[in-house]
Structure 1
């Protein structure tokens, strides 16, 4: 891998997760993002109550994302080899936390109108 391109990253992620699972996750992320943007435009304001509940769900999303990646890659926490692995798992946790907050806020807003 001489240079890091978008095509290279897609190929690596397809290899890690499998083609079907990877593109399913991309489609789910696009769907949730579109729904979130719809909710923001529709409501024209953020509900702080819904936002608080979304923030409280973030730790669960972080743990779930790390466990998901460990399960898919057939790894365990004992396989962490150094600071790069720890930083990668921290990045996965942060992405899972943010994604869960967006998902929870969007789901609340779609179920309960303002």
Structure 2
């Protein structure tokens, strides 16, 4: 692998997760993102109570993301070989935490909309 291109990264992700699961994850992420944008536009403000609960859920998302990647790659935390592996796992944890926080905020806003009028 000489060049790091988008096609190379897509091939690697499809190899790790399988073509169907990878594209299903991409579609789910796109739907959640669109729902989040819809909620932000609809409400025109951020509900700080919902935002706090979403932030408190971030460790769950971080742990779930790392666990999911370790499961899919048939790896263990003992297989971490160096600083690059730690950086990659931290990146996965951050992405999982942020993604789960967006999911929690969006779900709260869709299923418990603000009752007060601005």
Q: TM-score, normalised by structure 2?
A: 0.95
Q: Which runs of 5+ in 2 are unaligned?
A: none
SS at match of 1:70: helix
Question: Which residue is 2:3 aligned to?
Answer: 3
Counterpart position of 2:58: 58
Corresponding pairs, count: 114
| Equivalent runs, 1:1-114 vs 2, <5 Å | 1-114=1-114
Task: Note the residue ranges of structure 1 that are not aligned, 5 or more in a row.
Answer: none
CA distance in 2, matches of 1:113, 1:13: 36
Deviation track 1:28-64 (CA, whole Å, cap 9, x = no partner) reads 0000000000000000000000000000000010001
1:4 CA displacement: 1.0
Q: CA deviation at 1:88?
A: 0.4
State the 1:14 CA deviation. Answer: 0.4
Post-superposition shift, 1:78?
A: 0.5
Q: CA RMSD in A?
A: 0.5
- Give SS of 2:113's match: coil
Shift of 1:2: 1.7
Q: Distance in 2 between matches of 1:98 and 1:78?
A: 25
Q: Under a length normalisation based on structure 1, what TM-score does the superposition of the two structures give?
A: 0.99
